[in-house]
Structure 1
Amino acid sequence: MQGPTELPEMLVLDILSKLPAKSLTRFKCVSKSWSSSFQTPYFITQHHQNQLRNNNLNLLLKRCKGNTFDDICYFSQLSTGKVPNFIPKQNIFFPFVDYVTSEFRVHGPRNGILCLECEEIISLWNPSTREFRILPQSSIQRPPSSLDYTVRTDLGCVGFGYDSQTDDYKVMRFVNNSFYYDGDYGYTIFSHVTAQVDLYSLNANSWKEISDPEVIVRYSTMFDNYVNGVCYWLSDTDNDNDVFILSFDMVNEKFSTLPSPELDGGLAQYNLELFNYNGLLGAITYPREGILDSFDLWVMSGSWTKQFSIEYVIGAERPLGLWRNGEIFFQKDYELLLFDPSTRELKYLGVHSYKESIQLISYVESLVRINGRSEHEERVVRQTARQPFRSILKMKMKMDRELKEKCKI
């Protein structure tokens, strides 16, 4: 009687590369061979490509419990199965996010890696492998401040990208000595006069200073600003009528500019959000004033062309992101909505947040390593969404106190 046929190792690894990261984490203990194979660049790339090919998107909602400015900010992992209901499955709390709402920004993903920005603390996080890394403080001398507080990196003036030539993850930040904002908070376009630009390399684990473009960098709080190795920001000079798009290439580490879409009545009347639209630079524009009753989507391919317009999305206030089949997430007051342009159906998803804190992040699972530590070691707290929020908050407050005491030693 013939025994069972043993499958070739490459075929086994090919099958395993189609599994979710959670399963692969469990299977590391099967054998040392499997564990080491899961960490090879080839397997990591194959796994990520399989997840992309199958459009296995995951959703994180950055939100806030309550309706006051000093309530705590956290992530909710939303359910996104074959028939997604977007119900929160898990809440995730970070030790350095201490009772802040809009002071917490997320950049990415880049190959499944997210960059978290909370005032001067910047960190990298792989939510699939639960690996976490707080970046070191820059030792670069800061420029003199024209304000009466310490020069700092202001929220949103950060670029997070991937250098494919050196297989390196980089964080670029504008350091400012003055800033102003224009508009109502939550729908705001902030503007910054840069004094210095710092660039972090994960491979080198260090910061360096790079050439300053000497422009006013504008940003808003909705979409990710990265496309194919390049970060983008809406910018201008001292003349508000001279609005353009500033870009930074993560490979050659150079700034360049390109024009913004030409809008009827001028850009001053519109909000403009830059984002990745099927591998091209896209822009969503919608009126600054009043209820959002229409918006346009533009695509840059040599020049700006209007892809489509959607009018009269009743009840929607601002776009938050795109979903698998072209559906669009919107926000109304404190609630998350999903709009299907093909059927014009608008669904209320029953997920609420303090409106100025809300941010939606979609990502595909990845096994990419960031040479950090586990979430548990870094005191990141994960709890089921069913657990009473008060007990979670009490636990986090205790961990925050312990972390502060540890830092004093």
Structure 2
Amino acid sequence: MRVCKAWNDIIHSQEFIEAQHYRSMKTNGPRTILLLKRNSYKPDKRISLSVCFDRVVSKSDVLPVRITQPLQHFDEKAFMVGYCNSLVCIRYSNSISNAETLVVWNPSIQRFKRIPFTPVELPAEWADNQKRFPKIAYGFGYDSINDDYKLVRVVQFTKDDDVVGSEVKIYSIKSNSWKKVQSLPCTKGLRMYFTTSRLSYLNGALHLLMFGLSDENRIPVIVSLDLATEMYDEFPTPTVCYYKKLLVLEVFGGYLGVCLRPYPPATFIDQSDVWIMKKYGVTATWTRLYTIEKDDMPLQTYKYCKPLLFSETREVVLLERGGMLWWYDFERKGFEMVVIPNKPRLFSTAICAGNLLLLDGERVINPSQ
């Protein structure tokens, strides 16, 4: 018993948890793609998929593992807020009451933490605007300076074509509390982008797309919020990104990227372009990574292919579209579908590597046990 207690104390020590996490990230071992099922009306389980990076995946390589989600309420839909260092932040939205619950979850050890509720404070000039809803986006990331994981909620209020205010709050796991920080920079009349529902994490900051309605600032810009300093920065997207309704901000392969997504009614867009910023924060390093022509796309993937990760050789990229995963080869311009037995029809994706973070969290209960 004494030996078991000693081992338990070691495993639960912060030094051991940090050492294990550092080794997992440094060795860059195999990653797990978590397929988060969005909704279900039965006691629900989620599926994770281990993906081999060094070559195109074949059917025999895919061995999905069923994982129970933190919350199991049948009337709640699950939305991926973000993920960082194998911690996954999920927003559960009740379709009846419109109430929502936020959790941070470590699927590797099936532990999670509930995030306390914080109200949205409406500006006076918007309070009587009951027929409109504010634009809300969440983001999740890691503050390495303070060794803290943080959730950001951004709310922007518009009236007609004018931005009348915004509210930005940051939740700290370490302090288990929310605080209000400086509002979004709106000096140029910038508003949150149409496609923005969550903020993208990279290099200790969260990023979102914003754009203006006037001719001089119609090209979208990327606004970043540093999680340590709580200061904003801004840099432009590639000059080709002027189809404002068709732009998506992504992070993959360690790069900040923008994707020009196809839109069937817009017949003048017959390809999907993906750009990456090779040196973070340096506008001149925007580079077109690949282009998927309309004729090269499988029928099921026409609208938009979300890039998830590169293979180890960086010759192919894993894409997600409409409940399906595909490997895309840059040189051959060919697709190969990843076959996943019993996968959910609709899902969100997160990339994870096993660690022991959140060992002190609540235990996930499997409803079948």
Report the alpha carbon displacement of residue 254 of structure 1 after superposing the two structures with TM.
1.4
- Which of 162, 171, 174 is the matching residue for 1:200? 171
- Do the aligned residues in 2 keep the contact of 1:336 with 1:349 (CA within 8 Å)? yes
- Which of 290, 294, 309 is the matching residue for 1:322? 309
Give the counterpart letter for 1:251 in structure 2. Answer: A
* Residues 206 and 294 of structure 1: CA distance in aligned 2, closer, same or farther (over 3 Å): closer
The answer for the alignment partner of 2:291 in structure 1 is: 310
- Which of 85, 89, 94 is the matching residue for 1:111? 85
Give the counterpart letter for 1:231 in structure 2. Answer: L
The answer for the alignment partner of 2:275 in structure 1 is: 297
1:42-191 matches, cutoff 5 A: 42-52=15-25, 53-63=27-37, 75-80=46-51, 85-95=61-71, 98-101=74-77, 104-119=78-93, 120-138=100-118, 141-143=121-123, 145-148=127-130, 154=136, 157-178=137-158
Deviation track 1:142-201 (CA, whole Å, cap 9, x = no partner) reads 5453443797773xx112121112111111101344599xxxxxxxxxxx9753111111
- Do the aligned residues in 1 keep the contact of 2:112 with 2:358 (CA within 8 Å)? no
> Does 1:271 pair with 2:271?
no
Report the alpha carbon displacement of residue 45 of structure 1 after superposing the two structures with TM.
2.7
Aligned partners of 1:208 and 1:220: how far apart in 2?
26
Listed as ranges, the gaps of 5+ residues in structure 1 are 1-27, 181-191, 384-394, 396-409
The answer for the alignment partner of 1:386 in structure 2 is: none
Give the counterpart letter for 1:112 in structure 2. Answer: S
The answer for the alignment partner of 1:340 in structure 2 is: 329
Deviation track 1:7-36 (CA, whole Å, cap 9, x = no partner) reads xxxxxxxxxxxxxxxxxxxxx996323222
Identity %: 19
> Does 1:34 pair with 2:7?
yes
- Secondary structure at the counterpart of residue 295 of structure 1: strand
Structure 2-normalised TM-score? Answer: 0.75
Give the aligned length. 332
Aligned partners of 1:36 and 1:246: how far apart in 2?
43
Give the counterpart letter for 2:208 in structure 1. Answer: W
- Which of 234, 239, 242 is the matching residue for 1:262? 239
Aligned partners of 1:179 and 1:88: how far apart in 2?
47
Deviation track 1:276-300 (CA, whole Å, cap 9, x = no partner) reads 432x323333333469744233225
Report the alpha carbon displacement of residue 253 of structure 1 after superposing the two structures with TM.
0.9
Aligned partners of 1:133 and 1:337: how far apart in 2?
33
The answer for the alignment partner of 2:211 in structure 1 is: 236
Give the counterpart letter for 1:95 in structure 2. Answer: L
Report the alpha carbon displacement of residue 331 of structure 1 after superposing the two structures with TM.
4.4
The answer for the alignment partner of 2:191 in structure 1 is: 216
Aligned partners of 1:347 and 1:147: how far apart in 2?
49
Deviation track 1:226-256 (CA, whole Å, cap 9, x = no partner) reads 1010111111234371521111000001122
1:381-400 matches, cutoff 5 A: 381=366
Q: Which has the larger radius of gyration?
A: 1
Deviation track 1:259-288 (CA, whole Å, cap 9, x = no partner) reads 111107x2337423321432x323333333
Give the counterpart letter for 2:297 in structure 1. Answer: I
> Does 1:360 pair with 2:331?
no
Range with greater deviation from structure 2 (227-236 or 365-374): 365-374
- Do the aligned residues in 2 keep the contact of 1:60 with 1:360 (CA within 8 Å)? yes
- Do the aligned residues in 2 keep the contact of 1:151 with 1:175 (CA within 8 Å)? no
- Do the aligned residues in 2 keep the contact of 1:330 with 1:338 (CA within 8 Å)? yes
* Residues 35 and 94 of structure 1: CA distance in aligned 2, closer, same or farther (over 3 Å): closer
Give the counterpart letter for 1:305 in structure 2. Answer: W
Report the alpha carbon displacement of residue 61 of structure 1 after superposing the two structures with TM.
1.0
Aligned partners of 2:123 and 2:71: how far apart in 1?
30
Structure 1-normalised TM-score? Answer: 0.69
- Do the aligned residues in 2 keep the contact of 1:233 with 1:274 (CA within 8 Å)? no
Alignment root-mean-square deviation, CA: 3.7
Aligned partners of 1:86 and 1:222: how far apart in 2?
30
- Do the aligned residues in 1 keep the contact of 2:275 with 2:290 (CA within 8 Å)? yes
